[in-house]
Amino acid sequence: MLFADGVFNQPEGKTAHGIIRHSRIFRPVAVIDRTLAPGSTESVLPGTDVPVVGSLENVLDLRPEALVVALTESDYGEWKDGVFLHAPRQAGDLPEFWRQEIHSAVRHGLHIISCLHQHLARTELADQLGVGQHIVDIRRPYDNPPKYSGRRQRSRAKVIHVAGSDCVIGKRTAALQMRAAADRLGIDSGYIGTGQTCMLVGCDNGAIIDRTPVFQAAGLVERLIEEVESERDLLFVKGQASVLHPAFGGLASAILQGSQADAVVFVHDPRRRQRYHWEHLPIGDLQTEIKLVEELGGAPVVAVATRGEDNVERLRHIGLPVADPLTRGGSETLLNAALEAAGLALPAH
């Protein structure tokens, strides 16, 4: 059961979107979003058909095992005259309906998997759990993050880093679509998680990198890769935000440099002019950012991912392969460019 009340058809619903499209851990039985209930996820994510309901009580007959709180306090918004108005809240400042649904889930014996900034396992809910019932707070800091070493002594895996020009622009979708394409081609591939959705869809190793002190973030990414790279031929690492983002550029650069990638796929929406939830800040120049990503990361940007065939045409001029990873053959186009640059041959058939 995914809780995405009020945001499922908004960019703030990205965690729920990712779980429905790509999770190897959860099988969603329904999505809670009063603004779209009753309905189906197909209206938001074509090709999917998960019921959208108004509350947990509507689907108890499906016997859900867990409630995944697939948003954070900062994702909160209110609808007025059919328009979604983003109204982020502070950690722990939960709307009453959110509290009601979480408490209802605990009373009915469901596990709670929470993306909230507030750690629910440290609240009174922990005293209400039954035997074998658990609360898992996804956004926990990594214990004792290591320092960055800069070593490039990998025994097996090639690494593809997925960078982008902004937040919520499709980096995770591109990375996971390429992983799926690699699987279809018989390539032994894996995924390094760097954020909450990555952890919930299933990854070989991962951490919430934005909970790590910035001077240890690159070292943590390096460590996550080192711990599993001998088990895979190919690893995908999703970046966060943008290296030119005034607020999050340090995080984006740390993940990029920590990944020590062999090739980079860059994600961009040419129609976006202002930064996501930072409307007073313009998007950086595409060519400038690509060059900067190459300089900071030491690996070439080999392809550009975008959404929609119209955007693909808008970006043809940059001289790199451009594709929509959600269209037929799109993820293969991106993957093939990355494999060629990384020097990883396709398996023989």
Q: What is the pLDDT of residues 38-73, one digit of tens each?
A: 999 999 999 999 999 999 999 999 999 999 999 999
Place of tokens 């690509």: 290
Write down the CATH number for the domain with range 158-342.
3.40.50.300
Q: Supply the pTM of this predicted model.
A: 0.91
Q: Both tokens of residue 42?
A: 């197909």
Helix 286-297 with 249-259: angle, nearest 10 deg: 50
Q: Which long-range contacts (CB under 8 A, 24 or more apart) does 291-298 make?
A: 292/243, 292/244, 293/163, 293/243, 293/256, 293/264, 293/266, 294/264, 296/243, 296/253, 296/256, 296/257, 297/161, 297/163, 297/256, 297/257, 297/259, 297/260, 297/261, 297/264, 298/260, 298/261
DSSP 164: E
29 to 37, 65, 68: CA distances (angstroms): 14, 10, 11
- CATH 3.40.50.300 in the chain is located at 158-342
Give SS3 for 112.
Answer: strand
In sequence order, the β-bridge partners of residue 39 are: 52
Q: What is the pLDDT of residues 171-211, one digit of tens each?
A: 999 999 999 999 999 999 999 999 999 889 999 999 999 99
- CATH 3.40.50.720 in the chain is located at 2-137
Q: Which residues contact 181 (CB under 8 A, 6 or more apart)?
A: 331, 332, 334, 335
Give SS3 for 89.
Answer: coil
Q: What is the pLDDT of residues 118-132, one digit of tens each?
A: 999 999 999 999 999
Q: Give dist(CA 144, CA 67) in Å, integer.
A: 29
Give the burial class of 3: count Cβ atoms within 10 A of its Cβ; 0-12 exposed, 13-18 middle, 19 or more buried.
buried
Q: Both tokens of residue 252?
A: 């984006």
Whether pLDDT at 347 is above 90: no
Q: pLDDT value at position 12? A: 93
Query: Phi and psi dihedrals of 296, rounded to 5?
Result: -70, -40
Whether pLDDT at 349 is above 70: no
Q: Give dist(CA 263, CA 299) in Å, integer.
A: 5
Q: pLDDT value at position 235? A: 97
On whether the CB atoms of residues 114 and 135 are closer than 8 A, the answer is: yes
Compute the average pLDDT of residues 323-341: 96
Whether pLDDT at 153 is above 80: no
Sign of the torsion angle spanned by Cα atoms 70, 116, 305, 204: negative
Confidence of residue 257 (pLDDT cuts 50, 70, 90): very high
Helix 171-184 with 14-22: angle, nearest 10 deg: 0
Task: Tell which phi-psi region holds residue 177, choosing left (phi > 0), alpha (psi between -120 and 50) or beta.
Answer: alpha
Superfamily (CATH H level) for 2-137:
NAD(P)-binding Rossmann-like Domain (3.40.50.720)
Q: pLDDT value at position 333? A: 97
Q: Give dist(CA 162, CA 328) in Å, integer.
A: 20
Sign of the torsion angle spanned by Cα atoms 286, 288, 290, 292: negative
Q: What is the pLDDT of residues 66-117, one digit of tens each?
A: 999 999 999 999 999 889 999 999 999 999 999 999 999 999 999 999 999 9
On whether the CB atoms of residues 303 and 290 are closer than 8 A, the answer is: no
Q: pLDDT value at position 348? A: 63
The CA-based angle 185-186-187, given to 5 degrees, is: 95
On whether the CB atoms of residues 302 and 264 are closer than 8 A, the answer is: yes
Instruction: List the one residue out of 264, 276, 257, 191 whose CA is nearest residue 218.
Output: 257
Whether pLDDT at 309 is above 80: yes
Q: How high is the mean pLDDT of the chain?
A: 94
